[in-house]
């Protein structure tokens, strides 16, 4: 089965609804599960990755309900329903709850889909052990056995390669029996994501002291979170694909839900993306009727950019597509940690060369030398939602047809991606079943298949 994308020659026009932020949803749901009482998370997310987090929390005994457009989370002590807790295929659902499983009333084994052995978690497991959490992992990844014992606290040092390692330590430290200090060493990638974790912890009444240089976190022991109401903001990272599409085609598109505010006023770790694409020449204005972002133009030639991917790693796939068609060389710096996501996203986006792009990797840089046109090709999504959506947008500006493996990977973060893109005039569709039978899969996925997640409204079991 493939996602089939054909070139779009007409103006893209209409509205794109920007989904709520999964970054905020993960953190809010997890912290609410720890707060005795009922918290309300305003703004549903049907993304599979969020559903994996919900499944993990329900496995730990948390009751989560859907009330209209909100989540109701009934928090309190973890009382596992079974010995194995699945985190599905979501990295955040692996990195965040693993340490917190030590707060459960019984031992649990954290398991995930078969792609997870490639997810780098060993350094985080060592740091969790340094805080006194009793766990073991024969493979350095799932399955991870966690025994019930509150962390004792202490000083944990962690490399700043992935923000999720740091966030996972921060979330469990307030429940220790002694004070905790967490120090980030080496390169500190994705700081904005850690900042979001600290802000969300404070929303639930948890105290975290951050040093002036942002590398040391001191946490008092024996804290108890309080329930909160959290309104989920729009997901700028999901908006990236619609913005990229409007950059590659004449456009008149309203981004419903995305306020036209300066990046520093948007509560989102990827807000800098808006400044980046504006710097590349995408005209974004405030729609007078709604105050939301509107993109309107009759065709533009994008300017190249130099982007530090330590700050916006998850936008590399979309930005590499824009760089491939910009007028000059776009430089994506510090890309090493982007290779540790759902797939090796640097390698995955080098596939643009099959479409006629001039992209090369040099050390920790990805260089995109802009070309005039692309040509459709048979490509792999590596079952990675951001890779699939970015290559699909590239396919709308390519001559002929582009065919992508694992056509449903977008559901991980942006379940309405196809409807929204087709709704503004792009041409994307999943091939029919009989076509799949006639032409079997040729490009293997290195990261495994994703299992379907239970419906959001399913009762806790």
Residue 434, pLDDT score = 41
CA distance 351 to 356: 9
164 is in an annotated binding site: yes
When pLDDT is averaged across residues 52-71 and rounded to a whole number, the result is 96
The dihedral region occupied by 225, where left means phi > 0, alpha psi between -120 and 50, and beta the remainder, is: beta
Which is more confidently placed, 440 or 410?
410
pLDDT-derived band at 106 (thresholds 50, 70, 90) equals very high
pLDDT-derived band at 113 (thresholds 50, 70, 90) equals confident
CA distance 25 to 414: 13
Per DSSP, 29 falls in state H
pLDDT tens, 234-261?
Answer: 999 999 999 999 999 999 999 999 999 9
User: What phi and psi, each to the nearest 5 degrees, are found at residue 358?
Assistant: -115, 90
CA distance 21 to 49: 11
- At residue 65, the 3 state secondary structure works out as strand
Cβ–Cβ under 8 Å, residues 334 and 364 = yes
- Tell me which residue of 353, 355, 378 sits closest to 440, measured CA to CA: 378
Structure tokens at 19: 């989904």
Task: Using CB atoms within 10 Å of the CB of residue 276, give its burial: 0 to 12 exposed, 13 to 18 middle, 19+ buried.
Answer: buried
Q: 454 pLDDT exceeds 70? A: no
User: Which stretch of DSSP H or E encloses residue 186?
Assistant: strand 180-188
For all residues of the chain together, what is the average pLDDT? 92
CA distance 368 to 78: 48
| Helical spans, DSSP H, in 226-299 | 236-248, 272-279
pLDDT-derived band at 119 (thresholds 50, 70, 90) equals low
- Tell me which residue of 447, 342, 330, 321 sits closest to 390, measured CA to CA: 321
When pLDDT is averaged across residues 207-217 and rounded to a whole number, the result is 97
- Tell me which residue of 106, 114, 51, 54 sits closest to 83, measured CA to CA: 106
Residue 450, pLDDT score = 30
CA distance 378 to 287: 38
pLDDT-derived band at 191 (thresholds 50, 70, 90) equals very high
pLDDT-derived band at 442 (thresholds 50, 70, 90) equals very low
356 is in an annotated binding site: no
pLDDT-derived band at 214 (thresholds 50, 70, 90) equals very high
119 is in an annotated binding site: yes
Cβ–Cβ under 8 Å, residues 93 and 58 = no
Q: Is the peptide bond before 376 cis (omega within 30 degrees of 0)?
A: no
- At residue 344, the 3 state secondary structure works out as coil
Q: 451 pLDDT exceeds 60? A: no
Query: Is residue 314 annotated as part of the catalytic site, yes or no?
Result: yes
pLDDT tens, 331-341?
Answer: 999 999 999 98
Q: Please report the domains of the chain, with CATH numbers, ordered by start residue.
A: 2-19+234-438 (3.65.10.10), 22-107+116-231 (3.65.10.10)
195 is in an annotated binding site: no
Cβ–Cβ under 8 Å, residues 396 and 248 = yes
What whole-number percentage of the chain has pLDDT above 90?
Answer: 86
DSSP per residue, 126-179:
HHHHHTT--EE-TTSSSSEEE-S-----EEEEEEES-HHHHHHHHHHGGGSSS-
Residue 248, pLDDT score = 98
429 is in an annotated binding site: no
Q: How many residues does the chain have?
A: 461
Residue 447, pLDDT score = 32
Range in 91-95, 308-312, 317-321 with the lowest mean pLDDT: 91-95
Residue 88, pLDDT score = 85
- Tell me which residue of 165, 156, 158 sits closest to 129, measured CA to CA: 156
Produce one character per residue of 409-425: b if its CB has 16 or more CB atoms within 10 Å, e if not: bbbbbbbbbbebbebbb
Range in 45-54, 180-189, 217-226, 450-459 with the lowest mean pLDDT: 450-459
Tell me the whole-structure pTM to 2 decimals.
0.91
SS3 content of the chain, % helix, strand, coil (to 5): 35, 25, 40
Residue 120, pLDDT score = 76
∠ CA 256-274-71 to the nearest 5 degrees?
A: 50
Residue 89, pLDDT score = 76
361 is in an annotated binding site: no
Nearest 10 degrees: Cα torsion 351, 304, 286, 390: 0
Residue 134, pLDDT score = 97
User: Which stretch of DSSP H or E encloses residue 203?
Assistant: helix 191-203
Q: 115 pLDDT exceeds 90? A: no
pLDDT tens, 81-104?
Answer: 999 999 987 788 889 999 999 999
163 is in an annotated binding site: yes
27 is in an annotated binding site: yes
91 is in an annotated binding site: yes
Q: 436 pLDDT exceeds 60? A: no
Residue among 70, 314, 344, 445 flagged as catalytic: 314
- Tell me which residue of 450, 369, 432, 442 sits closest to 405, measured CA to CA: 442
Produce one character per residue of 282-320: b if its CB has 16 or more CB atoms within 10 Å, e if not: bebeebeebebbbbbbeebebebbebebbbbbbbbbbbb
CA distance 272 to 278: 10
pLDDT tens, 283-303?
Answer: 999 999 999 999 999 999 999
∠ CA 355-388-232 to the nearest 5 degrees?
A: 140
């Amino acid at each position: 089965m493939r996602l089939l994308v054909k070139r779009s020659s007409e103006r893209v026009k209409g509205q794109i609804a920007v989904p709520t932020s999964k970054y905020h949803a993960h953190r809010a749901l997890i912290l609410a599960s720890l707060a005795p009482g009922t918290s309300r998370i305003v703004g549903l997310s049907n993304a599979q990755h969020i559903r994996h987090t919900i499944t993990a929390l329900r496995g730990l005994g948390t009751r989560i309900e859907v009330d209209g457009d909100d989540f109701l989370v009934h928090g309190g002590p973890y009382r596992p329903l079974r010995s194995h807790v699945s985190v599905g295929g979501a990295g955040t659902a692996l990195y965040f709850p693993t340490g917190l499983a030590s707060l459960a009333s019984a031992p649990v084994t954290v398991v995930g889909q078969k792609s997870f052995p490639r997810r780098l978690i060993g350094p985080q497991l060592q740091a969790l052990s340094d805080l006194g959490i009793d766990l073991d992992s024969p493979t350095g990844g799932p399955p991870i056995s966690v025994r019930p014992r509150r962390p004792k606290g202490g000083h944990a040092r962690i490399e700043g390669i992935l923000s999720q390692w740091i966030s996972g330590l921060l979330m469990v430290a307030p429940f220790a029996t002694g004070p905790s200090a967490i120090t980030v060493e080496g390169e500190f990638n994705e700081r904005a994501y850690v900042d979001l974790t600290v802000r969300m912890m404070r929303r639930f009444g948890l105290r975290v002291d951050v040093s002036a240089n942002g590398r040391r976190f001191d946490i008092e022991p024996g804290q108890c979170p309080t329930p909160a109401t959290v309104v989920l903001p729009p997901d700028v990272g999901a908006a990236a694909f619609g913005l990229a599409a409007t950059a590659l085609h004449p456009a008149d598109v309203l981004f419903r839900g995305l306020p036209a505010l300066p990046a520093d006023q948007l509560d989102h770790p990827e807000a800098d993306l808006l400044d980046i694409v504006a710097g590349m020449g995408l005209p974004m204005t405030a729609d007078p009727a709604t105050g939301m972002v509107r993109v309107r133009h009759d065709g533009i030639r994008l300017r190249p950019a130099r982007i530090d991917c330590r700050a916006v790693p998850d936008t590399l796939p979309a930005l590499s597509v824009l760089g491939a068609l910009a007028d000059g060389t776009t430089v994506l710096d510090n890309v090493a940690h982007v290779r540790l996501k759902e797939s090796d996203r640097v390698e995955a986006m080098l596939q643009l060369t099959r479409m006629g792009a001039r992209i090369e990797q040099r050390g920790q840089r990805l260089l995109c030398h802009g070309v005039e046109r692309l040509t459709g090709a048979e490509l792999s999504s590596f079952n990675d939602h951001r890779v699939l959506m970015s290559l699909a947008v590239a396919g709308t500006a390519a001559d002929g047809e582009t065919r992508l493996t694992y056509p449903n990977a977008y559901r991980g973060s942006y379940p309405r991606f196809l409807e929204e893109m087709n709704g503004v005039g792009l041409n994307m569709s999943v091939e029919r079943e009989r076509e799949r039978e006639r032409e079997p899969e040729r490009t293997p996925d290195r990261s495994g298949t994703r299992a379907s997640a239970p419906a959001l409204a399913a009762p806790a079991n």
